[in-house]
Amino acid sequence: MINKILIIIFLIAIKTKISLAQEYSAYDLLKSCNNYTSWIENEFESPVDQQVLFNMGKCQGIVETTGKIMSTLCAERKRNVNINKQIAANLEGIRTVSLIKEYVFIASSVGNIQKYSAQNLLTKILSKKWPCR
């Protein structure tokens, strides 16, 4: 019972924090993550300026944070807490680079990507690719 209350408080806090924060669009995340994957694939040889480096860090941070939250929610879901499977993902052992590559691959084919927030599209993609069972 206490775990359920803590999770509800946690979800409300995240929802409040996300709604108060400036919304980062899925398109902006795609641009930043696309630069990130290109830079990794070129073995860090392509030159980047400070702004591109900052945006790549933002991509990595958003993906890592979202992944950790979704992984935690999956663990709680396995303990019979009633958590929506669309916000949980089994990311045990999955590296951040793999998450970013998957996001870039799927988000590149999404039509009208501007209508999505980064968080919403990312959670949809991760929960479909690595569902929590």
User: Taking residues 8-23, what's their average pLDDT?
Assistant: 60
Contact 26, 119 (CB under 8 A): no
User: How many Cα atoms occupy the beta-carbon half-sphere of 117 within 13 Å?
Assistant: 11
The predicted-structure confidence for 25-54, as pLDDT tens digits, reads as follows: 999 999 989 888 887 877 777 777 888 888
Q: Which of 30, 28, 24, 23 is nearest to 107 (CA)?
A: 30
Mean pLDDT of 56-84: 89
Question: Which pTM does this prediction carry?
Answer: 0.77
Q: Which band of pLDDT confidence, cut at 50, 70 and 90, is reported for residue 17?
A: low
Q: Could you state, in order of their start, the residue ranges of all structural domains in the chain?
A: 23-129
Section 49-74 average pLDDT: 90
Report pLDDT digits (tens) over 76-105.
888 877 888 889 999 999 999 999 999 999
